[in-house]
Amino acid sequence: MNVNQQPHMASPYGPSQPGYQGYPQAPHGGQHMAGGYPGQYPPYNGPTSAYQPGAPVPGPMCAPPTSGAPPISAPQAYGQYGGGQALNGPPPSAAPTQRPPVSQPYTPAPMNLSTPQSSYSQPFAGPPTSMQQMTNQMAGMQVGPAPPAGTAPGYAMPPNSQPPVSGTYTSTASHPSFPPTSIASPHPAAGDGVPPGPPQSYYGGPPHAQQPFPTSSAPPPAFSTASATPPAAAAPAPAVSQASQAFPGGPPHAQPQPPPQQQQQLPPFSAAGPTPPQQTPFSSGAPQAAPHPASQHLYGGPPPPQGAPQQQQQAGFPRPSPPTSQPSSSTTAAATTNSGFPGGPPQSSHPYPGVTMPQQQHSPFHSAPQLSGPLPPPPAAGGFPPQGSAPGMQGPPLQHPSMSGPPMSQANHVAPGSTQPGMPPPMGPATGGMPGPPTQPGMQGYPPQQNGAFGQMRAPQPGYPGPYPGQHPGQHPGQQNFGAPPQAPASAPPAQKRLDPDSIPSPIQVIEDDRVNKSTEPFTTGVRGQAPPLVTTNFQVKDQGNASPRFVRCTAYNVPCTSDMAKQSQVPLAAIIKPLATLPPDETPPYIVDHGESGPIRCNRCKAYMCPYMQFIEGGRRFQCGFCSCVTEVPPNYFQHLDHTGKRVDCYDRPELSMGSYEFLATVDYCKNNKLPQPPAFIFLIDVSYNAVRSGMVGIVCQELKTLLDYLPRENPDVPSAVRVGFVTYNKVLHFYNVKASLAQPQMMVVSDVADMFVPLLDGFLVNVNESRVVIESLLDQIPEMFADTRETETVFGPVIQAGLEALKAADCAGKLFVFHTSLPIAEAPGKLKNREDKKQVGTDKEKALFQPQVSFYSNLAKECVAQGCCVDLFLFPNQYVDVATLGVVPTSTGGSIYKYTYFQAQSDQERFLHDLRRDVQKPMGFDAVMRVRTSTGIRATDFFGSFYMSNTTDVELAGLDCDKTITVEFRHDDKLSEDTGALMQCAVLYTSCCGQRRLRVHNMAVNCCAQLADLYRNCETDTIINFFAKYAYRSMLNSPTKNVRDILVNQCAQILACYRKNCASPSSAGQLILPECMKLLPVYLNCVLKSDVLHPAADTSLDDRAYLRQLLSCMDASESHVFFYPRLLPLHKMDTESDALPLAIRNSEERLSKGGLYLLETGLNLFLWVGASAQQELLQNVFGTTAFGQIDPNMTCLPELDNPFSKKLRDIISAFRDQRSRYMKLMVVKQDDKLELIFKHFLVEDKNNSGGASYVDFLCHMHKEIRQLLS
Amino acid sequence: MATFQEFIQQNEDRDGVRFSWNVWPSSRLEATRMVVPVASLFTPLKERPDLPPIQYEPVLCSRATCRAVLNPLCQVDYKAKLWACNFCYQRNQFPPTYAGISEVNQPAELLPQFSTIEYVVQRGPQMPLSFLYVVDTCMEDEDLQALKESLQMSLSLLPPTALVGLITFGRMIQVHELGCEGISKSYVFRGTKDLNAKQLQEMLGLTKPAAPQAGRGPQGPQVPLSNRFLQPVQKVDMNLTDLLGELQRDPWPVTQGKRPLRSLGVALSIAVGLLECTFPNTGARIMTFIGGPATQGPGMVVGDELKIPIRSWHDIEKDNAKFMKKATKHYEALANRASANGHIIDIYACALDQTGLGEMKCCSNYTGGYMVMADSFNTSLFKQTFQRVFTKEVQGAFKMAFAGTLEIKTSREVKISGAIGPCVSLNAKGPCVSENEIGTGGTCQWKICGVDPSTTLAIYFEVVNQVSVCVCVCVCVCVCVCVCVWSPPSAVSAEPSERRVICKDLQRGIAVRPLNCYLSIHACTAVEEVPHRLIGSHFKKRFQAPKRISFKHNFGMRGETISTAQCFTVRSMEMQ
């Protein structure tokens, strides 16, 4: 971050707004700028001033920021994100500009590519789009610190945004951007008009800014268009909107709004068109050139630039704000990339309101485009505060310097956390100061400055390590940085403030941007290499030849052509496959294809199934396999003529030729023993030992089963389910029940020979529910009575599963066991366990053994279960250690699930358990499944993660496969791939449906192959990567000490990011943290993984919990793992009861909680309702029916049903959340300062946690340090 | 008492004991020359409607090694209130209760006509009486139905306070818990794995009560009188009737060309084990109903492949029967365990083919159980035979007794070689035990788990070398637990059984010349004694049939002989 930030800072600052403006101008200047980009800096310097004017333009750009004005509305809309998204258009431009801005745009622009620029240019070229520059974040960070100045705020905001824009955009979209920029020239014009504004702003500061905004607003469009070019439509549109919005809000909102906008915008930018837009900003950046100067100034001496910068900045600010808004994204990016840093510091120092500026810058910087998103917000928030520091700013020039110092320092600090952050902040400030001018100038100048900054940063960074651990480092660095700039002192304090969390990439922003951008149109799968919307986005899918992302998600949609590239990038190539995923009602489930008695048509050699990748040749008489290229005859009954394009005439009549997912009816050849399968059976095995009875579990299960049995899975709702059921209870011995319909009363058969399990009866154990209803009900009534007085506390476990297995064997069918178990099986029997929980081993090298099964018995048993198609679901109700690691072996090897209800109490946990049970019983599933993943030549599936068993290296065997189970497959190269053909993957799952039909479900997926790393980084999915990493890490725990696992993770991510930095990002100071757009959340998510209870247990985390979560994660898809690692936190008090929309989520940090608020936190496993100590009475009344905080019962598990819209909506939300997840989430009411709050705080994952988990900011700094080490 | 023969006949009628020689040879040499051994057939419970049981304890010789019972042959000094033991010549004081004794006021045991006398002993806790049904379910529905009816009928014949239990088996073995409401419970075991008593106890959950009971004190002893598997007939009558009614043919599929899997060996083992750990040394009857040979697990007689026929007499003779030895060993071990605890094993085998009684015969032999063979449970042979098991005396007492101990004392002139019959040795060595064993020898005490009025054992004696005295005395002490009647309103109703001691005191002369012996020989006894030896010789080969007695004759007498020992049919004889 820092790094980027610094650079960005420079650019951002300078560039950021100025940049934008500058860019535009520059561009204007042109294209000069472009050419000059490199030169830009120099030019910038010059331009700076000029640019500043230009900046104004950016201002317009900022206009979007202005949206700030709209912000209010817009911002809201955006939500945090919202704005951004809406702005998307613009922001993008901004963003793009940001990145590309400096570097690429410039480069391309060629104009001044002067040295600094050159460097930028490079970055741009590479990173631009994809890159989200941390810088932005940094910038944001800075912003935070910056100038809080009240006035500044507004300005600040803009500036930031602008700067970012310039920076970011430049980088990514850069070239295009530039052009836009050039186009932007108009902006300049506007800017010109604006410029005045800016200057004014500088002078007048805020006011000007406002003015600029307006102007900028005008420009924005231009930008947008310009930038738009790349992003094109999307960008433009948004841009406009943004612009408009921005404008409206612009001035007034300036500060507040801008940030939002910026953020929002930025995100958008980052997303798609961003780059281009960014470019625009950059273009504005051109003007930035001017900034550069500024930056240079900065470098040279902050003071001089300051003046100019200030003006520029101010101008920028004003404009920035506008620009910010639009450019915001771009700006951010730009800011980040470029001057962000350079400018940043200086500018910031400048005072700029710079503070604000910085913010803007930051945002820009951060994600060129996207980053901007995050950054912007930060700017707004943090930025301003920083601005406070900005005061220094007041003394515009000098102050700026000082500011910059501080900002920088802050940035640095932050950065430290992430150097970038630090940088950004500086940027922010710089930008603030720098804004217009600095930005670009900054950019150019930045290099130097940045360097300096970086240097400083670095200094801090060194500290980072330390900081990492603690905030101190951050501060120190900051101090140091500041120190560097003597001026800093003043600012120092602020600077010392940590990296502003608002300036670093915000998941909320990204999610919101994606939601706004992508949820409106259906996602069509026909386009190869296109990344789907995020898992958090609601979207519709149209299957046009590739499997829906609901079935298959890949980490990268552009696979490197060679293994060298893959190794270099370290980006894992993996697919998360959820073969039986349930689709929303508006999407068609896979069609069923029947190829008749001869079975599905397949390639002769590789046995791939008929799919859209099969190429028909020779008039349709043969087809060539897309996977192995082998040519196979088309069976006569399948022959069809080809049309003039070589497609079969019936292509669209046959799902297997036109769809990504479909099912074949399997023939008897695909059945075990060549015998059509029997309908599956469900067997319920209930622990009836003392604990089970006392906790109420037995009664609840029996009661529930009476009704639940009517809802066994079936395909045709009109026909009773074919699934048969059986019942077993057990403690130390097993009790089987004969519930044959002809019996007057059930018969219980006790098997006490647990050493050698067998099934005592054949007929009457597995029965049809409807036929035996009376007997079954009588049995279920009696079970709780029979064992009501039991004193047996010992249980067995191994024999229980054996019993179920034997029963299925005897009935010759597949099926599922539902085991309800309470305690460690210590009774004498196979699979007897010892209590091996030993807290002393936690954290040592011996820890890993605790996650391995303590006896091999269960592994062998699992193997047998899989062979029979016996899936085991385990419901645990432990009061103490039960050794989940061992008990879970069978469920996790058979495709089953584990549910754990620690300290189960009927009253409070009943609902949760019953929901889980109902869902588990009812959910659609397949039995006795085998999954095979085939790939085209060049790559192959090498590793698999999930709940299954593998007896060889290719076949994934699942005794049961339900709609929630996910299998993650890792691919590796074994040859070169061709860019033309792309890489193909076909996942075929052979299974028995719940009505006993044998089927084959086929999912096809084609991805692009790329020879450029940049393409890889541009089309990857962070959620999926994190999912993969987590699974990988959780499995590695079995073999390596946890600490090593964490280190490996950090290291791999650092390599990924460093590779990007090295190969794709525009060259910039090493102190700058540059993140790819698609991966800008990687650090924050990774930190969440590292901090998860499994990898980093808190003192009170039991071994069982860790083992449980470990196994839980192994089957999660990306959306579940996303919320698992980064919980969703909704501020309920901001909820609008009129609309259906959810309140905009906020980031998981305690700082964001307001005492007067009410928040809902969703972790995927739990729901927390956090009540602030001074929450409004009305709010409490609405929700709890009481006005007194003290009267809220912290033990309640469901909210009272009150007749008011707020309560209704809240309950609706809660129930909607629950429906969304495969497991029922228990609601816990957490009152502020209550003891329960500790648990709640554990899920505020951006904060440092009690067990030593790093805060997001600290981790970012650490990551930055790692990256720097790799780069150097 | 006109003739010697009449005298002997009278004695035999009174005591139920018949000697091969009513006058015994005076030396071993002479005895050897006479070929037919000095032996006797004992019918311990010979019905004596005229004999009133004596309601007090017998008076015993005070010498620790003797403990003979006061009898008519003892010398009594009425003045000194002393009596001399006729075996060890120890002089004993009469107990205080005999203070009024005199020549004219003699206690019954001193009257010559009470050479056989029956005491009712009050000592010791009341013992429950158990009937455990072990029922094969691998049979035709028709057969099973008939069997179920017989069993249900039998419930009404049992004394209401007797304990009853049910084990069914086929491929698996089910031990049914009785008296459950709403749901029928059973413990299931697989038929291929033998269990020892301790394992069984754990698996049936029978260990727990022990601990709490110890602490509970007085109530403790009452509890073990029944458990979940063995409950008083009167309590579980209905339940058991229903249970039997619901009994289904073994549900496991039998593929073509296979025999159904029948886990008789383990079922029997579980039955023995169940009683062993719950009611050791009390009267209990395991009634096994089988519809075919054991086909799996320990004790299997033939595999489940139909193409391999069950072993024939020739296979056995040529030692070519694959499972024979193992199975025999298994059942022998079971029989030993059962007899050690005083439990009886009855076998009712109804099938057209062989059922493996050859391997199982020791179950009946050792424990005094019945072995009944018929073609089907639906035949009157089975139905009536089974019903007769529960016949009662006039007073209502069952004609069966349990857990008897047979002790024989002899005067110095003769020693005991052994016994052949439904008994097992208690390994009681003593001065009167001969070193030459015939049948079950080396002991003067045997356990007879099941005794009925017709149960007869052959006891072999050896004449000690030099005999000068012309009178020898032998005394049998028989201790039995008899089933008490449930019918008599007044009777000891509450208790299903009471303990009785029956003493028989016999005296025979020694012949000076062998001719006298020959005059006294009882042809029937001599002949009857042979089948006993044959039965014994089957597993104790040291005995050879006397050459002078023809086998044809032997077989001609079979019917009578068997009726006194066991119900053998022709087919079971084949397997010898």
A-chain CB neighbours of B193 within 8 Å are: 753, 756
Asked if B189 is an interface residue toward chain A (Cβ–Cβ < 8 A), one would say yes
How far is the alpha carbon of B203 from chain A, nearest alpha carbon, in Å?
A: 5
More confident call, A659 vs A368: A659
Q: What is the pTM of this model?
A: 0.71
Q: What is the pLDDT of residues A306-315, one digit of tens each?
A: 333 333 433 3
Of A751, A778, A786, the CB nearest to B188: A751
What are A451-476's pLDDT values in tens digits? 333 333 333 333 333 333 333 333 33
Mean predicted confidence (pLDDT) in A1140-1167: 88
Mutate to test the interface with A, among B138, B168, B177, B188 (most CBs of A within 10 A): B188
Q: What is the pLDDT of residue A894?
A: 92
Q: Do B251 and A748 touch (CB under 8 A)?
A: no
Nearest residue in chain A measured CA to CA from B186: A749
Interface touch A733/B189, C-beta < 8 Å: no
Nearest to B193 among A744, A753, A762 (CB): A753
Q: Which of A750, A786, A802, A809 to mutate to test the interface with B (most CBs of B within 10 A)?
A: A750
Nearest to A763 among B187, B202, B251 (CB): B251
Q: Is A762 touching B (CB cutoff 8 A)?
A: yes
User: pLDDT at residue B547 above 50?
Assistant: no
Query: What is the SS3 string spanning A1181-1201?
Result: HHHHCCCCHHHCCCCCCCCCC
Q: How confident is the model at residue B85 (pLDDT cuts 50, 70, 90)?
A: confident
Select the highest-mean-pLDDT range: A291-305, A319-333, B35-49. B35-49
The C-alpha atoms of residue A536 and residue A1123 are separated, in whole angstroms, by 9
Listing DSSP states for B126-172 in one string gives ---EEEEEEEE--S-HHHHHHHHHHHHHHHHHS-TTSEEEEEEESSE
Q: Please give the residue that has the higher pLDDT: either B376 or A305.
A: B376
User: Among partner residues A735, A745, A749, which is closest to B174 by beta-carbon distance?
Assistant: A749
Better pLDDT: A1121 or A3 = A1121
Candidate ranges A255-259, A377-381, B476-480; pick with highest mean pLDDT: B476-480
In this structure, of A46-50, A923-927, A1094-1098, the range with the lowest mean pLDDT score is A46-50
Over residues B297-336, the pLDDT tens digits come to 999 999 989 999 899 888 888 888 889 999 999 999 999 9
Considering only CB atoms, B183 lies closest to which of A753, A761, A782, namely A782
Test B190 with A746 for CB contact under 8 angstroms. no
Chain A nearest-CA residue for B187: A750
Give how far A760 is from chain B: nearest CA, Å. 6
Is A316 near chain B, with CB under 8 Å?
no
Chain A residues whose beta carbon lies within 8 Å of the beta carbon of residue B204: 752
Predicted confidence (pLDDT) at residue A986 exceeds the cutoff of 50 = yes
Q: Is the pLDDT of residue A1206 over 80?
A: yes
CA distance A752 to chain B (A): 5
* Cβ under 8 Å to B: A residues 765-824: 778-779, 782, 786
Q: Do B246 and A786 touch (CB under 8 A)?
A: no
DSSP designation for A662: E
> How many beta-carbon contacts under 8 Å exist across A and B?
65
Residues of chain A contacting residue B182, judged by C-beta atoms under 8 Å apart: 745, 778, 782
* Partner A contacted by B551 (CB < 8 A): no
Boundaries of every domain in chain A: 680-923, 1127-1244
Q: Do A778 and B193 touch (CB under 8 A)?
A: no
Nearest CA in chain B to A737: B185
Question: Which chain B residue lies closest to A783 (C-alpha atoms)?
Answer: B183
Percent of chain B with pLDDT over 70: 77
Q: Would you say residue A52 has pLDDT above 90? A: no
Residues of A in contact with B246 (CB under 8 A): 743-744
pLDDT digits (tens, 9 = 90+) for A756-808: 888 888 888 999 999 999 999 999 999 999 899 888 899 999 999 999 999 99
If you average pLDDT over residues B73-96, what whole number do you get? 84
In whole numbers, what is the pLDDT of chain A averaged over residues? 68
pLDDT greater than 60 at residue A1240: yes
Read off the pLDDT of residues A144-180 as tens digits, 9 standing for 90 and up.
Answer: 333 333 333 333 333 333 333 333 333 333 333 333 3
**Residues of A1084-1121 as b/e, b for ≥16 C-beta within 10 angstroms?**
bbbbbbbbbbbbbbbeebbbbbbbbbbbbbbbbbbbbb
Q: B186, B246, B254, B269: which to substitute to probe chain A, counting the most A Cβ within 10 Å? A: B186
Average pLDDT, stretch A809-838? Answer: 91
Which of the given ranges, A99-108, A292-301, A783-792, has the highest pLDDT on average? Answer: A783-792
Q: What is the pLDDT of residue A341?
A: 37
Strands ordered across the beta sheet of B457-463: B17-19, B39-42, B457-463, B414-420
pLDDT number for residue B124: 59
Mean pLDDT value across residues B140-153: 92
pLDDT, mean of residues A379-405: 36
> A734, A747, A786, A790: best mutation site toward chain B, by most B Cβ within 10 Å?
A747
Banded pLDDT at A420 (limits 50, 70, 90): very low
Using a CB-CB cut-off of 8 Å, the residues of chain B touching A758 are 172, 190
pLDDT of residue A674: 85
Which listed CATH number (1.10.490.130, 3.40.50.300, 3.50.50.60, 3.40.20.10) goes with A1127-1244? 3.40.20.10
Task: State the distance between the two ends of chain A, measured CA to CA, in whole angstroms.
Answer: 16
Listed range (A256-265, A504-513, A863-872) with the worst mean pLDDT: A256-265
Contact B195 A753 (CB under 8 A): yes
Q: What residue of B is the nearest CA neighbor of A748? A: B185
Put simply, the answer to whether B185 touches A747 (Cβ < 8 Å) is yes
Q: Among A706, A737, A804, A740, which residue's Cα sits nearest to residue B184? A: A737
CB A53 within 8 A of CB A195: yes
Expressed in percent and rounded to 5, the helix, strand and coil fractions of chain B are: 30, 25, 45
Cβ–Cβ under 8 Å, residues A1256 and A414: no
Question: Which A residues, 721 through 740, put their C-beta within 8 Å of a C-beta on chain B?
Answer: 733, 735-736
Give me the architecture of the A680-923 domain, per CATH.
3-Layer(aba) Sandwich (3.40)
List the end-to-end C-alpha distance of chain B, in Å, as a whole number.
Answer: 42
Q: In angstroms, rounded to a whole number, what is the distance separating the alpha carbons of residues B519 and B538?
A: 32
Q: Is the pLDDT of residue A370 over 60?
A: no
Selecting from A746, A756, A779 the residue whose C-beta is nearest the C-beta of B190 gives A756
In this complex, is the C-beta atom of B202 within 8 Å of any C-beta atom belonging to chain A? yes
- For residue B33, the Cα-to-chain-centroid distance in whole angstroms is 34
* B227 CA: distance to closest CA in chain A (Å): 16
Inter-chain touch A752–B204, beta carbons under 8 Å: yes
| Whole-number Å distance between alpha carbons of A178 and A34 | 6
Mutation target vs A (from B166, B168, B169, B183; most A CBs, 10 A cutoff): B183
pLDDT band, residue A105 (cuts 50/70/90): very low
Which residues neighbour A760 within 8 Å (Cβ) at sequence distance 6 or greater?
A: A736, A749, A751, B172, B174, B188
Residue B497: what pLDDT?
A: 63
Determine the length of chain A.
1272
E strand or H helix that includes residue A7: helix A2-13
Alpha-helical runs (H) found in A185-218: 186-193, 197-204, 206-210, 212-217
B49 compared with A1134, residue with greater pLDDT: A1134
pLDDT at A128 over 60: no
- CA triplet A855, A856, A861: central angle to 5 degrees? 120
pLDDT score recorded for residue A949:
92
Instruction: Give the mean pLDDT of chain B.
Output: 77
pLDDT of residue A33 exceeding 60: no
Residue A756 to residue B202, Cβ atoms within 8 A: no
Q: How confident is the model at residue A873 (pLDDT cuts 50, 70, 90)?
A: very high
Of B180, B203, B251, the CB nearest to A752: B203
pLDDT digits (tens, 9 = 90+) for B168-216: 999 999 999 988 888 888 999 988 888 888 888 888 887 654 444 333 3
Lowest mean pLDDT among A383-397, A870-884, A919-933: A383-397
Looking at beta carbons, which residues of chain B come within 8 Å of A736? 188
Pairing of β B424-425 and β B445-451: antiparallel
Say if B266 is an interface residue toward chain A (CB within 8 Å). Answer: no
Contact: B174, A786; criterion CB under 8 Å: no
Distance to chain A for B345, nearest Cα, Å:
25
Stretch B12-32: mean pLDDT: 79
By C-alpha distance, which of A285, A21, A91, A272 is closest to A178? A285
Instruction: Give residue-wise pLDDT tens across range B402-453.
Output: 878 888 888 777 888 888 888 888 888 888 888 888 888 888 888 888 888 8
**∠B144-B145-B151 over CA atoms, to 5°?**
85
Among A743, A749, A786, beta carbon nearest to B188: A749
pLDDT-derived band at A727, boundaries 50, 70, 90? very high
> Span A854-883, mean pLDDT?
93
The amino acid occupying position A1105 is D
User: How many angstroms away from the CA of B403 is the closest CA of chain A?
Assistant: 31
Residue range A1253-1270, pLDDT digits in tens = 888 988 998 988 888 888
Written in H, E and C, the secondary structure of A676-720 is CCCCCEEEEEEECCHHHHHCCHHHHHHHHHHHHHHHCCCCCCCCC
Pick the range with the lowest mean pLDDT from A6-20, A819-833, B94-108, B211-225.
Answer: A6-20
Q: What is the pLDDT of residue B560?
A: 35
Neighbouring CB atoms inside 10 A of B548's CB total 8
Q: Of the spans A490-499, A646-655, A714-723, B67-76, which averages the highest pLDDT? A: A646-655
Q: How far is Cα A32 from Cα A1065, in angstroms, rounded to an integer?
A: 22
Is it the case that residue A371 has pLDDT exceeding 80?
Answer: no
Tokens for A670? Answer: 């695909």
How close does chain A come to B241, measured CA to CA in Å? 14
Residue A752 touches chain B, beta carbons under 8 Å: yes
* Whole-complex ipTM: 0.81
Highest mean pLDDT among A863-872, B95-104, B405-414, B481-490: A863-872
Q: CA A684 to CA A679: how far, in whole Å? A: 17
Residue with the bigger pLDDT between B41 and B510: it is B41
Copy the structure tokens of residue A1068.
């910039």
